[in-house]
Amino acid sequence: MSPMDFGLCIPCFANPGAAFFRTPRWSALDPKAAVEAGVQAERLGYDSLWMADHFIHGVDGGILEGWTTLSVLAGRTSRIQLGTIHMSDAFRQPSLTAKMTSTLDALSDGRFIFFFDAGWGLDEQHAYGYPDRPASERLERLDESLDLITQLWSGATVNYAGKHFHTNDAVCLPTPVRRPPIWLGEVRDDAYLDIIGRYADGWNSVPVSPQQFGERWAKVAAACTRA
């Protein structure tokens, strides 16, 4: 890996003005242009593409579905890494997430980066009929999900009996080309930081001041030390 890699967030929704940093101030969503931006990023030498995982977003609520778009980009590119931005645990069973991610990694020759999250966008979850769960339960489910997903990625038969999730002789083939790097983001309470310390290969923060970033990173580093 080079000292610094450069990634592009796919412009998958419209939000004119300077209020948000993941879209080029588009006044309207342009699905084809969003995909072409990712293809052009590979031509220009970017290292990674990142796709958000939302149902409703931007100025008019319109946004491309993240997993479908990332799959299209996997077929339109050949070298660039493919990452999710906070792929939501709340939207899918972890066994399904394991199957989806292992398949994409296999088909893209090991280019997938698994950026995961407990799912904090309650407004869109309510709109789409997903259940509202307290933060403590979402973190419990995130912890179990990461445990189950990494077991399924191994290709072994998995019988899982957790508090929230269960499998019976589940097999996840094809396996990933290599275990996808796991990224987690932001700083919340100690329970969340401990999940970062146990599972994460990478950590992400939204843009903050250097002082704020240092404070956040100190908490992440402490969680890694505890782990």
Distances (CA, A) of 93 to 45, 135, 147, 163: 35, 17, 13, 14
Sign of the four-CA dihedral 37, 76, 28, 16 = negative
| Bridge partners (DSSP) listed for residue 44 | none
**Which pair of tokens denotes residue 22?**
């993941």
Whole-model pTM over 0.85: yes
* Residue-level pLDDT at 19: 67
Stretches where the chain sits below pLDDT 50 are none
**Secondary structure class of 87 (helix, strand, coil):** strand
Tell me if residue 99 falls in helix, strand or coil: helix
Query: How much is the pLDDT for 207?
Result: 85
CA distance 109 to 105: 6
Query: How confident is the model at residue 158, as a pLDDT?
Result: 98
Tokens matching residue 130: 């997903």
